[in-house]
């Protein structure tokens, strides 16, 4: 029995986990973002509420990067833990083993253990949210890259500058990572909105673009056709490099089954392995993926 947490900039969600997939919610509290002692106290109170025995581990999913060599977390939206060796610091304060994972990695673990990736050897979990992210799972375990970076397919100057389905020149856009033309600049919700504005000179939300596409709107259909083509090339490269058996898609844009199906249809002809089944599929876990992912991280790493 352990306690697992899904921590964001505004809310801490917690659950008791009896296994990697058997969790019971403990509810949520506000995140003390600027006071580490208050942050640790909030976690301790939730542990006490769940009744985990003294010394039982805790597992955390967090929207940030954790360097596996130093345990230092980079978490922009929670200043009190940004730059800390979060696992060791919490472990010392709470007298419990602590394991911390990136939220995209925990999403991928959740899908591998209890969602669309269950039963497959290699799972690549894709996030199409505000931006683009991902996590790599092999034989039920997370692949932790050097510096905490793995599965970050959204970064590198890879976006093509001309499309074929609708002939169009695409200007490379600046990415928050400092490069130009990263997949992240067009792949997430903000990227889809930028792409639509670049093509049509019209400002629409990503939800409105996807909805209008479903209604047959000509401009949104053109945007989504280009968007699908632009994402298909880097996704196909990723498939050929990693060899995933399945790619569950989560995040806000992943809530559109039509978009996920369009990506699958665009990617499969571009990869070396020929499949007669969907490769890119909607994620199955939407509510508790962070908690299940955190629990899966702890149990798969033996931190129990």
pLDDT tens, residue by residue, 204-255: 999 999 999 999 999 999 999 999 999 999 999 999 999 999 999 999 999 9
Q: How confident is the model at residue 92 (pLDDT cuts 50, 70, 90)?
A: very high
Residues 205 and 149 grouped into a single domain: yes
Of the candidate ranges 116-125, 138-147, 203-212, the one whose mean pLDDT is the lowest: 138-147
Number of domains, the chain: 2
Q: How confident is the model at residue 176 (pLDDT cuts 50, 70, 90)?
A: confident
Q: What is the pTM of this model?
A: 0.93
Residues 123 and 45 grouped into a single domain: no
Residues 249 and 274 grouped into a single domain: yes
Residues 225 and 134 grouped into a single domain: yes
Q: Would 64 be classed as within a structural domain?
A: yes
Give the residue numbers spanning the domain of 209.
119-282
Q: What is the CATH number of the domain that holds 293?
A: 3.30.420.40
Residues 6 and 76 grouped into a single domain: yes
Residues 224 and 148 grouped into a single domain: yes
190 pLDDT more than 90: yes
SS3 140: coil
96 pLDDT more than 80: yes
Q: How confident is the model at residue 121 (pLDDT cuts 50, 70, 90)?
A: very high
Long-range contacts of 270-277 (CB under 8 A, 24+ apart): 270/232, 270/233, 270/236, 271/236, 271/239, 271/240, 272/240, 273/239, 273/240, 273/243
Q: Would 204 be classed as within a structural domain?
A: yes
């Amino acid at each position: 029995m352990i306690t697992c947490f899904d921590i964001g900039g505004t809310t801490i969600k917690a659950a008791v986990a009896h296994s990697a997939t058997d969790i019971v919610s403990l509810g949520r509290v506000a995140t003390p973002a600027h006071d580490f002692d208050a942050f640790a106290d909030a976690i301790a109170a939730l542990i006490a509420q769940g009744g985990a025995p003294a010394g039982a581990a805790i597992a955390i999913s967090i929207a940030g990067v954790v360097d596996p060599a130093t345990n230092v977390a980079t978490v922009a939206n929670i200043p009190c833990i940004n730059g800390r060796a979060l696992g060791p610091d919490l472990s010392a304060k709470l007298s419990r083993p602590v394991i911390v994972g990136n939220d995209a990695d925990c999403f991928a673990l959740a899908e591998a253990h209890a969602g669309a990736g269950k039963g497959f050897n290699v799972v690549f979990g894709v996030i199409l949210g505000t931006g683009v992210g991902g996590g790599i799972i092999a034989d039920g375990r997370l692949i932790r890259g050097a510096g905490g970076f793995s599965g970050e397919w959204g970064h590198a100057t890879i976006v093509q500058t001309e499309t074929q389905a609708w002939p169009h020149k695409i200007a490379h856009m600046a990415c928050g990572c400092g490069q130009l033309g990263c997949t992240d600049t067009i792949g997430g919700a903000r990227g889809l909105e930028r792409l639509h504005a670049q093509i049509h000179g019209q400002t629409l939300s990503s939800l409105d673009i996807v909805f209008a596409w479903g209604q047959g709107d000509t401009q949104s259909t053109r945007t989504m056709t280009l968007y699908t083509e632009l994402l298909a090339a880097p996704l196909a490269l990723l498939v050929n490099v990693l060899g995933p058996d399945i790619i569950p898609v989560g995040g806000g844009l992943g809530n559109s089954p039509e978009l996920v199906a369009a990506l699958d249809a665009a990617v499969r002809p571009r990869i070396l392995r020929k499949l007669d089944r969907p490769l890119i599929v909607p994620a199955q876990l939407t509510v508790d993926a962070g908690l299940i992912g955190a629990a899966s991280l702890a149990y798969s790493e033996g931190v129990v």
